Each structure stands twice: as C-alpha cells, then as structure tokens.
Structure 1
Amino acid sequence: MAAGSNIADEEEEEGFDEQRATRAFQHHQFDLNISYSDWITFDISARKRINSMSKNDDGSNQSGSNPSGCGGGADGFSIEEPQDADYPRISSLSYDLENRIFARFPISEFWKLCFVNKRCWALLKSGELFNIRREIGFKEPSIFMSATGQSTWWAFDREFKSRRKLPVLPSDVCFINGDKESLSAGTHLLVSGKELDGLVVWRYELVKNRWYKGPSMITPRCLFASATCGSYAYAAGGMAVELNGEVLYDTAEKYNPESRSWEELPSMRRRRKLCAGCYMDGKFYVIGGRDEAGGLTCGEFFDETENRWQLIPDMLKDDPVQSSHSPPLVAVVNNELYSLEASSNQLKVYLKKSNTWKQLGPVPVRADCNKGWGVAFKSLGNELLVIGASSVSSTNEMAIYTCCPDSDDSSELQWRSIDTARNRFRDFILTCCVMVA
C-alpha cells in the first residue's frame, strides 16, 4: 500500500502551511476583492490624519528633550508613535467582529488571509472560521470532482470561476485507477474505493488540505447509496465482492466528522446494490437498485426519530435499474426530489402525495451516452447541477449547466450554461460531490 510517509490516522496541526501559502501567493494576484454575492460591503472614506507626536492644548510638543523618541518612558522606551509615519484615526474592529467578517469570505479566497497577519493565519489554520460559519448560518457550496484524464481531484466554487487542485491522494494504483464513490460530511470529503488489500475509505479534510486514510465503514461496500444532511453522511446497501461471488447488503451507517467515526444504523427492508440516496424531509432515502432477483422499483427511507426504515412500493415503477445502467440519478432542491432519466435525458420531479413522477423537460447533457455513467447530477443550493457530455456540442469536453426548477411551473426549463474555458476536462465524470460548509 502506497500510503506515503506524510499520512497518519492521527491528525497533525498542518493545513495551510507557509510554503503552500507562499506558492499560492506566487500564482495569484494578491487582492482582497470579495466577489461572493452575499458579502457585506462597507466604506471607510474619511480618514483623519494626526501627527505622530502628541501635543498639548497650546500646540507645544510633549516629547520633551528627546526628539528621537528613545528612552522617553519610565522603562527607558518611548510609548509614543514613530515620528516618521501618519496614522489614520480609525476605530479598530473587535476580534469577534473581524472573525465574523472573515468567515463570510468565499472559501476560494481563504488563502489570502495567510498574508494579513499572524492572527489571521492562526484563525485560518485552526478551522475556527468554519465553526463561525455554522454559528451564523452562512453556507457555501463547493464542488469536488474527479474526471477522466485527471490524476488528481479538483475543487471548484459555485460558479466554476475559481478552481484548486487538491493534494495527490496517496493510495495504490488499484484505488487510483478503479471505480470510486464520494460523499461529504461537514468539511470532510470521503472517497470509497478498492485497494489491493480490499475496500477502503480515504478522507480529505478541507481545513487541513490533506488526505487521511480511514475510517473504513463498519461494513466495507461498493455500489451503495449515500447522502448528506450537511453535518453527517449516510451510506446504505451496496455489495462486497467475495471469492465465491457477490454479497448484497441491507446494512446502513452514518458518518460523524466530529468523531471521525461510523455509527451503525438499523438494517433496511431490502438488500440492494446500484441504488441511489438522498436526504429529504429530514429523512435518508434509498431508491431503486438491484437485488438477486433483478431491478427494484421500491424505495425506502430511514426516520431517525423512530429509528426505523419504511418501505415505499413502486417508487420507480416506470424506470427500474437495468443491469448495466448506473444507479438512479437523483438530487433534492428545496426539499423536492428530481431525477434525470438516463434513457431519455428527461428531468422529472417526484410527486410525494401520489407517489408518481412528473416530466419537466429535456436536460442539455447526454446521460444516455453511457447509460447514466459519467454524468454528475447534483443539488447546488437552490439549483440543479448537471455535468457531462453536451447535447448541443460534439466536443468531448465536459459541459456544465444549472437550473432553478419549479415543480409547479409548467413553463420550459431555463438551463444556464457555465463557461468551461478554464476547465477543459473530459466529459466523463468519474465521481463528483458537493460540500456545503
């Protein structure tokens, strides 16, 4: 296993180290221009300048016979300001208010705080900014992606205007080149895959900008359903490949980023693989998939208050998962469940009361090219995000579109194309995850 000498299960106080910050500074224009739409701006225009030396009411100099300012104080040192500088009379902000302002910086701009002062450096390194963001209810989505032809993971801001290459994931060749699944919890990105020794989970910690191995799931699995509610991540179903064949699971578990551990949940009502997961109405949903007999049309959800699963018959009765197809492509926006039907490239919304689906219109990405594989279909705040091969272009570069859906509006969907000139990746997305922090 190529775990690398810099990886340990016990975290160290690293993260935004000085060399990394210096390299970032050399490759970025250093300015503190805040572009995020929710940023609060203020103007301090009237700067009153004062002399560096204090004066009496009559205008006489108070420094006595020591014009150099040396030795003027009782301890031999001057308590006066230097004479060769003017100082603006501006009331300083409290540290608490400063922290709350810094917490509203876009995550893509956090690195600039390294060059403000030592206090900002320590604030960034500690991860306290993310705690403050949670306290004030300030959230920002970041997209983490691994695409064909890319040896490393990339992180993007919401508009894909800023991108950052993550450190190389120090696993073995089997994991790097094999199928992987990703999910997020808090500021942790979890990537599950198979190494030479078996199924493992690697986690990337945003605060420390570093990969760590583990913790593995209680029941290691692949082709499972997953979802996040922000603070926690859920995984259920899936399979393990044994020497005597496949083993399907009905087990489920929850990841806690604070304790960096998995907690076992009650088992589902059905064993299933190739299933999809989402978090809606405060519940973890697992939809579709396949069992030993074939495609499943039922779904089920876990109610944490009752600590049990409830079955939803015929939730996918018109679109069961075929053996060679991807898991259902689903996303939740404004507590409504949407599905991208891979066979027809149609967007549908789930009508909870009638347990049926309503067709909303076509999606400008070719999900049918590879039977749903290679397409990212995610929720991005109040928008749907879809990434893959464009239906209006013949290039093999990825296309990115967003849309604000309205389940009650019968008008045509308005998909917004995001410029990918700076992000010329191949159109087959290996795995993609949205982190809200």
Structure 2
Amino acid sequence: MSKGKERLTKESNYNKSSNVKKVKRFDLLASNHKKFAYSSSNEEPQDADYIGDIPSLSYELEGLILARFPRSEYWKLSLVNKRYNTLVKSDELFRIRRQIGFNEPSVLMLATGENYWWAFDRGLSSRRKLPVLPADICFTSGDKESICAGTHLLVSGREIESLMVWRYESATNKWYKGPSMINPRCLFASATCGNSAMVAGGVVEVTTGTHVVSDTAERYDPDTRLWYRIPGMNRPRKLCSGCYMDNRFYVIGGRNDDGELTCGEYFDTEKKQWILIPGMLKDNPVLSCHSPPLIAVVGNELYSIEASSNQLKVYLKKSNSWTTLGCVPVRADCNRGWGVAFKSLGNELLVIGASAVSPVRNSMAIYTCRPDPTSEGSPEWRLVDSGKIQLSHFILNCSVMLA
C-alpha cells in the first residue's frame, strides 16, 4: 500500500472513531435528561439542516433546550425549519416548561384610547403589540374583563348580540372567538389558578332583559378549551375580586341586592365547597362607585391597595385583619380605584397607573417591589417606566400570563 493510501485510510478510521465518540457523548447527555422526556421517538431527524458529520440532538434534549428560550423570542425559532415552526405553534414547548418548572411572566394590558393590547415580556424590559382583536364595535368600545389560563388570555365583554369571550393564544399569536361561559356574565371575580382560570359571581341574564346578581362559578381548561361548572358560592355578588392563595380560589368583597359585602369566601377543591370568611374587608372604608377590591398575592400572602388613601395593606390570616405597610406610588384615589392595575409578578408586586411622585402627568407609570409582610414601613418601590411609553395611565384591563 502506498504511503498516500495508508495516510487516507488512517484519517478515515480516525474520523469514524471520532464521530462514534461524539455520538456517544450526546447519547450520554440525552440519557441524563430522561426524566424530562417529552417524546419517545427514536427516529432520525428529517430536517434538511441536519447535515454533515455533526451529530443531532435527541428530540427530548432538543425540546428541553428550546423550552428555555425566552417566550418573546419564539418567533425566531419558527424561522429555522418546518419542524421548529410546527413545534412553536403547538403547546408542546409550554408543556415542557410546566414539567421542568420553567416559566416567565408576561404582563398583558389594554390602556384607554388604544385599539390593541400590549405585552410586556422579559421582566418588563421589552414590549410588543398583540394583533388587533377582531371583535365588533360594541365589544371594542365597551367594558371588558380579562384573565389568563396557561398560554391563553381570555377577554370577556358584550358584543352587539350577546356577552362573548375572545381568547388570545400565545403559541399562535392569534385571537379566536369563544368559548362562551356556561353562564355568560359581567362584573365577576376571576383568578388564574395553576394552569386553569376560575370565575365566580357577576351579573347574568336569566331571561331577555332580566339580570340578576349570581353566585355561580366556572373553571376554564386551556387544554380542552372548555368551561366546567363548579359549585356555587355562599353569597351572590358582583364587582368582587378573585385571587389564588394556598391552592384555593378566593372571592372577596363586592355587592349584591343587600348592598356592600365585607365577607370573603374560598373554594376548597378537595371538599368541592365554598367556605365563608365573615368580615374579611371590614377594615376597608367603602367609597361610592368604587372599583372591585385591588388585591394581589405574592408568596401566598394577600395584599391590597386601599383606594381612598393609596395605602398598601397585607392580610393577616390568623386574625382575619389587615395591617398597613405604607403608600403606593400611584394615585388609586383619583378614580376610586378604577384605572389602576395591581397584580402579582412572580415574587414581586406590580402596580400600574398615574404616578404619585413623577412630574410626568397623564402617562403610564410602572412600579414593582418585593414586599415583606413582617417588615415595618413601606417596601421599596422600583420605577420601571414613567412617561417613556406613551400610553394613558388609565388601565382598562391587565392580566399576567405565567407560562
């Protein structure tokens, strides 16, 4: 054998051995992630971009990597190849994120004077417009209520013919009509409960032109895109607020035919019944034509903003009372609580409205803080934005999507 042929043979054997070692290393890496597997397929990838001697990742490991991409960057993945495009538009990546406990909060809001919703992603550091909601003029210009369930944003309002729910799906970046609630309602309480959404109370139409304050409740499942009945509350109520705390769906305050309600109640998912909490809002002064209670939950602790004084309070579960932590940096008292967004953003409180300290007026200001219920004094609020985003400070709807 000539020296040239001998050299080529040695190089060929070396490359084969090297490729075998590479494949073994990737196979070992993939086997370490079996507990997060989302596909049992052993088929070779069929996309044209898997070429040459570079070994491909297993589908399961690939999914674990792609699931950790910032959700706002998923549109870039859809440009890589057809399989990535299909994967991004399905719920598979979000299912993996839930399995591995990896999620990101996005703030979805509609400010007065706007025709489209805004999404604030990546810790409020980036923003984007959602597609225009294709509802009729009655829905667009009327009062609406919103809630998130998984990767779905549900917006409820009145169209010309009836109450309707529109849903925005983050995976496809599109709006879809329906599904309607079992008992279509307005002025209800709602909360994101795990991967589901729950609603309770509100005003429902029992016959044409006849409306009553309701005690009924429902749960929305984003996987089936259906509403399911849950038992009714102890009290019918409207203009109430909901939250998810201690793995329970709480409904607080509101009004019924007898007037203002200071009681709250929560739904026990194991016993399938509502437990009443008398006097839960007994310390909060009542204003005429006020908004539903401004409440948010961080670390399984319930916080509220007293609209008459702009005071931040924390709920003491053992004594069924509230203690004051200090002032919030927005003017909740301007419109009796209306137009202010008060939400939980992971381990922080989020408040959006007209700034009480900034000289910029009539522009939206965003503040966050990490509250400590055991600390004395007001928490330190961080100004995220003030006047840079030319949106009205009056927030019509706001929801947090955690996915």
Report how far residue 129 of structure 1 moved: 1.1
Q: Contact 1:321–1:327 (CA<8 Å) still a contact in 2?
A: no
Q: Contact 2:287–2:308 (CA<8 Å) still a contact in 1?
A: no
Match of 2:19 in 1: none
Letter in 2 for 1:340: I
Report how far residue 291 of structure 1 moved: 1.0
Match of 1:404 in 2: 370
Q: Helix, strand or coil: the match of 1:167? A: coil
Report how far residue 240 of structure 1 moved: 3.1
Q: Contact 1:397–1:426 (CA<8 Å) still a contact in 2?
A: yes
Q: Helix, strand or coil: the match of 2:153? A: strand
Match of 1:292 in 2: 257
Report how far residue 415 of structure 1 moved: 0.3
The runs of 5 or more residues in structure 2 that have no matched partner are: 13-50
Distance 1:97 1:382 in 2: 29
Distance 2:104 2:116 in 1: 23
Match of 2:352 in 1: 387
Aligned equivalent of 1:373, options 333, 338, 363: 338
Report how far residue 336 of structure 1 moved: 0.5
Distance 1:421 1:92 in 2: 48
Match of 1:343 in 2: 308
Distance 2:274 2:256 in 1: 18
Report how far residue 62 of structure 1 moved: 9.5
Q: Helix, strand or coil: the match of 2:86? A: helix
Distance 1:425 1:342 in 2: 22
Match of 1:363 in 2: 328
Letter in 2 for 1:361: G
The TM-score, its normalising length taken from structure 2, stands at 0.85
Distance 1:424 1:298 in 2: 39
Report how far residue 116 of structure 1 moved: 2.5
Q: Helix, strand or coil: the match of 2:97? A: helix
Report how far residue 346 of structure 1 moved: 0.6
Name the count of aligned residue pairs.
360
Q: Contact 2:358–2:386 (CA<8 Å) still a contact in 1?
A: no
Deviates further, 119-128 or 211-220: 119-128
Report how far residue 154 of structure 1 moved: 1.4
Q: Whose helix fraction is larger, Structure 1's or Structure 2's?
A: 2
Distance 1:197 1:321 in 2: 35
Q: Helix, strand or coil: the match of 2:308? A: coil
Report how far residue 101 of structure 1 moved: 1.1
Match of 2:395 in 1: 429
RMSD: 2.1
**Structure of larger gyration radius:** 1
Match of 2:7 in 1: 58
Distance 1:166 1:258 in 2: 22
Distance 2:223 2:336 in 1: 37
Q: Contact 1:295–1:320 (CA<8 Å) still a contact in 2?
A: no
Q: Contact 1:295–1:322 (CA<8 Å) still a contact in 2?
A: no
Q: Contact 2:285–2:308 (CA<8 Å) still a contact in 1?
A: no
The runs of 5 or more residues in structure 1 that have no matched partner are: 1-54, 64-86
Q: Contact 2:105–2:123 (CA<8 Å) still a contact in 1?
A: no
Q: Contact 1:296–1:320 (CA<8 Å) still a contact in 2?
A: no
Q: Does residue 219 in structure 1 map to residue 183 in structure 2?
A: yes
* 1:21-420 correspondence to structure 2 within 5 Å: 57-59=6-8, 92-240=56-204, 246-319=211-284, 321-394=286-359, 395-420=361-386
Match of 2:42 in 1: none
Report how far residue 311 of structure 1 moved: 0.5
Q: Deviations over 1:311-348 (max 9, x none)?
A: 00000002255440000000000100000111110100
Distance 1:428 1:328 in 2: 17
Distance 1:333 1:207 in 2: 27
Letter in 2 for 1:329: L
Deviates further, 239-248 or 115-124: 239-248
Distance 1:230 1:321 in 2: 31
Q: Contact 1:250–1:270 (CA<8 Å) still a contact in 2?
A: yes
Report how far residue 405 of structure 1 moved: 0.3
Distance 1:426 1:327 in 2: 21
Distance 1:92 1:56 in 2: 31
Q: Deviations over 1:7-45 (max 9, x none)?
A: xxxxxxxxxxxxxxxxxxxxxxxxxxxxxxxxxxxxxxx
> Does the C-alpha gap of structure 1 residues 281 and 61 become closer, same or farther in structure 2, counting only changes over 3 Å?
closer
Distance 1:137 1:267 in 2: 32
Report how far residue 411 of structure 1 moved: 4.2
> Does the C-alpha gap of structure 1 residues 115 and 391 become closer, same or farther in structure 2, counting only changes over 3 Å?
same
Q: Helix, strand or coil: the match of 1:108? A: helix
Distance 2:312 2:282 in 1: 16
> Does the C-alpha gap of structure 1 residues 62 and 201 become closer, same or farther in structure 2, counting only changes over 3 Å?
same
Distance 1:226 1:57 in 2: 75
Q: Contact 1:237–1:249 (CA<8 Å) still a contact in 2?
A: yes
Identity %: 64
Report how far residue 58 of structure 1 moved: 1.7
> Does the C-alpha gap of structure 1 residues 61 and 283 become closer, same or farther in structure 2, counting only changes over 3 Å?
closer
Q: Contact 1:56–1:62 (CA<8 Å) still a contact in 2?
A: no
Q: Helix, strand or coil: the match of 1:318? A: coil
Q: Deviations over 1:218-263 (max 9, x none)?
A: 1111110001113110000111367766410011111111111111
